[in-house]
A and B are shown apart, each in its own frame.
Chain A
Amino acid sequence: MSETSSRRTVELHWQPDLHEQPTILNVGPQHPATHGVLRVIVTLDGEEVIDAEPVIGYLHRGKEKMGENLTWHTWICHADRMDYLSPTLNTLGYCEAVERLAGLEVPPRAKFLRVILYELSRIFAHLVYVGTGALDLGAATVFFHAWREREKLYDIFDVITGHRMNNGFARIGGIQADITDEAAAKIHTFLSDFEQRVDGYETLLTNNRLWWQRTRDVGVISAERAVALGLTGPNLRGTGVCRDLRVHEPYAAYPEMDFEIPLGTRGDCYDRYLVRVEELRQSARIIRQAFDKLPQGEIYAEDRRFVLPPRERVVTSHDKEGVYPNQASMEEVIAQFKVVTDMKMPAGMAYRAVEGAKGELGFYLVSDGGNMARRLRVRSPSFNNLQALAEMARGRLISDLVAVIASLDFVMGEVDR
């Protein structure tokens, strides 16, 4: 009896000051608010964040190593799987870099179609931000509204490319296929009420008092600091720095597009939200212009050293009546095989960056003159943006860390590559 009672005696250490020892809190790697497999080691003083150290690498698949062991064409589908929220944008960006290395010029129609795909991808990715960013802070309604539009975009990509995501649609020197009337009609239907849908998200968030309290003056970063840390994209524009590669280093058909670059002023979570919402509208505007100005013509460059033969010359297909509209030619099949397996890239190096959904998506390619890259470097925007997490979260409450993570809008597939 006495033994039991002595065991039950629990010595209570009364801690008069809970702030003496900082608490270490491990967030992730499996946590819904970390948008993938991100782990953050948070040092807390009470509820205040003293430090937040992101630990990354859980999704490292060695994309750059694969790039050194795959031919130039076969790596395209791996670019899809970096930022899997805007897959087509990645593959097009990679092809732009290879084209710069090869000195290829893409025909005008392909440039305009690329702009359409770039902007559809941007909407695709920004809708994830609007949806999950709001969901993280408790606004679950917006998530379902944003996913409704996203589902329509999945269908559109399915019709254009044949896949809902990870479509591998870009080709060096062009794009895989021309846009069909069905796809164009679907895009027009999608765009017809898209601005109203964006207004709908805004009625739920922009003037919402709760949303203000959770995002305004939270996660503030100054313009100088953002530049020094290597931030790009909407995160940098949220601080008021005007830098958009579509305007400053134009590619594809962007010089002929008329659009505005939304800028923030305070560099907080709310400004980053406003920038992305306005970019949704601007993207829709660009797609309409691209359709209006879409020229006729080829979608592949002429240079057969680097460019695949047209698909209808390589694949024999038949319709329901058994008629063969496409007859493959053996010479073209051989040509395609040689381009895929043994395409010699001129020796040298090239850096080409495109404005990804998260920021500057750059590809640095080094070639020895062989059919594979000596070095294939991906400068991923999410990697550099994530570095700012600690600075934005420091001195704020633990609940603000979630708001900062959501507003940085990174995707771990791109951080870890």
Chain B
Amino acid sequence: MIADLTAEFGDRLHRREDCPDLPTLEIPPELITPVCTRLQQREETPCEQLTDLTAVDHSPRRPRFVLVYHLLSLAANRRLRLLAPLEGDHPEADSVTPIWPGADWLEREVWDMFGIRFRGHPDLKRILMPEGYDGHPLRKEFPQLGIDPGRHYREWDAGREG
């Protein structure tokens, strides 16, 4: 499944041995687009579907954020997981929407929930939280009860009276 990738990209890919459930590759973020393009277009076992795209906040450990791609090859009935660790507290990564159009909402959700931006996304805006919301709820510093949950109601009431 991943032999041709290691042949092409060499030791910049790192096979994770601690994930027994799925074959897992750790890739540097600048390789996201080339590796995904290669996986989607190759002759044997192409990954036609991006099943899931999400992120994990590992703070206080560094690198803090890791993007997680779950890919599926329907022809071979095989899955592949890609992990892309990102440096910094407000990182950016390349969008995979040109490769899989289904990544559109998934990347919007990662931006909304973690504050990770995607370069080349057609319309990167919030999806679950309302427009104009402060903060990104799945970041570890975000409190579980939310930041000032009544704010939107107050603004709404103020707008109604005025």
- A residues with CB within 8 A of B: 56-57, 60, 62, 64-66, 68-69, 100, 224, 227-231, 241, 243, 248-249, 348-353, 360, 362, 364, 366, 374-375, 377, 379, 383-384, 386-387, 416-417
Contacts and interface: CB of A to CB of B under 8 A. Distances in A.
Given A241-B74, A248-B77, A351-B22, A377 B52 contact: yes
Instruction: Determine which residue in B20, B21, B129 has the highest number of CB atoms from chain A within 10 A of its CB, and name it.
Output: B21
B129 A60 contact: yes
B21 A351 contact: yes
A366 B19 contact: no
B51 A227 contact: no
Pick the most buried of B51, B109, B144: most chain A CB atoms within 10 A of its CB.
B51
A230 B96 CA distance: 13
Interface in B77-131: 77, 79, 81, 100-102, 104-106, 109, 113, 126-130
A349 B146 CA distance: 27
Contacts of B51: 230, 353, 360, 362, 379
Nearest to A387: B105
Interface of B is mostly: loop
B157 to A, nearest CB: 19
A349 to B, nearest CB: 6
B100 A228 contact: yes
B64 to A, nearest CB: 12
A379 B49 CA distance: 13
Contacts of A69: 144
B54 A364 contact: yes
Contact of A379 (B18, B52, B77): B52
Given A56-B127, A364-B70, A416-B128, A375 B105 contact: no
A227 B22 contact: no
19 contacts: A56-B127, A56-B128, A57-B127, A57-B130, A62-B137, A62-B146, A69-B144, A230-B50, A230-B102, A230-B106, A241-B74, A348-B19, A351-B21, A351-B52, A362-B52, A364-B54, A375-B57, A377-B54, A384-B106
A374 B77 CA distance: 29
Nearest to A97: B21
Interface of B: 18-22, 48-52, 54, 56-58, 68, 70, 74, 77, 79, 81, 100-102, 104-106, 109, 113, 126-130, 137-138, 142, 144, 146
B137 A228 contact: no
A243 B79 CA distance: 13
Given A64-B138, A364-B70, A379-B70, A384 B54 contact: no
B105 to A, nearest CB: 5
Given A228-B102, A230-B50, A364-B52, 5 more contacts: A64-B138, A228-B100, A229-B101, A348-B19, A375-B57
B70 A351 contact: yes
A64 B110 CA distance: 12
A350 B126 CA distance: 28
Nearest to A247: B77
A33 B56 CA distance: 36
Contacts of A241: 74
Contacts of A350: 21
B127 A362 contact: no
Contacts of A65: 137-138, 142, 144
Given A230-B50, A360-B51, A243 B74 contact: yes
Nearest first, the 9 closest Cβ-Cβ pairs linking A and B are A230-B102, A57-B128, A379-B52, A229-B102, A60-B128, A375-B56, A377-B54, A350-B21, A227-B48
Given A57-B127, A57-B128, A379-B70, A351 B81 contact: yes
